[in-house]
Amino acid sequence: MQMKDVAQTFEYLKQFLTDERLRKIEHFSQDSSDFVLPVMEDIYQFRNAAAIVRSVEACGFHKVVAMEEENVFNPNLTVTKGAETWVEVKKMPKTISSLQEIKNEGYKILAVSPEKNAAMLPDYEITEPIALVFGTELEGVSEEVLDFADETLAIPMYGFTKSFNVSVAAGICMYELKQKLLKSGIEYKLNEEKLLQMKIRWAVNSIRSGNQILEQYLKT
């Protein structure tokens, strides 16, 4: 859709929203960002998938990439607390080609791992869009992803335990990076077209039979 069409589509969908829901969409969309893109590498525990989606949404990042191989990224809705309404989950095959596609969109690939002389999260300076790759619960980030990544990023550990649960690690990283962006002066928020597209998705997810209403409108 062209910019004008996107704006008109959202204006059309507004009539199906309650005033309260529209106010929330307008309010929370303003700080939304895809400057940090979480990428999950074949996560298999649905509670972890759900906790990641919830943390991502709470920090104002509304997109997740789930690279699937043996496991389906399927969040537990009792854990997400409704975050799945707002977070777009893009599913891709677990391949280097998928990461290359993300890189081609302008993202630096950062693997969350202590390997390869990792930068420490508190010291990391975010200057450009980053795709943050989290590995599986048992194996961590795969060797092929580590080899492909532009950099690695590690969370400092202060006890005998050598790593956080993947959903905890994702929550820590997303929150810390959001704080860095807030203080950076970087223009990290969505541009006008992406913002409108997200509002349309949120509106559709908020309306009963929203997809059918949107499809019917686009046919006219």
Both tokens of residue 26?
Answer: 């307008």
What is d(CA 70, CA 73) in angstroms, rounded to the nearest whole number? 10
| Biggest alpha carbon–alpha carbon distance for the chain | 62
What is d(CA 165, CA 33) in angstroms, rounded to the nearest whole number? 25
What is d(CA 138, CA 79) in angstroms, rounded to the nearest whole number? 21
What residues contact residue 15 under an 8 Å CB cut-off, 6+ apart?
Answer: none
What is d(CA 154, CA 174) in angstroms, rounded to the nearest whole number? 13
Residues belonging to the binding site for S-adenosyl-L-methionine are: 155
Residues belonging to the binding site are: 155
Q: Which of 45, 197, 193, 41 is nearest to 131 (CA)?
A: 41
The number of angstroms, rounded, from the C-alpha of 176 to the middle of its chain's C-alpha atoms is: 15
Torsion of CA 70, 59, 166, 87, to 10 degrees: -10
For residue 177, count other CB atoms closer than 10 A to its CB: 24
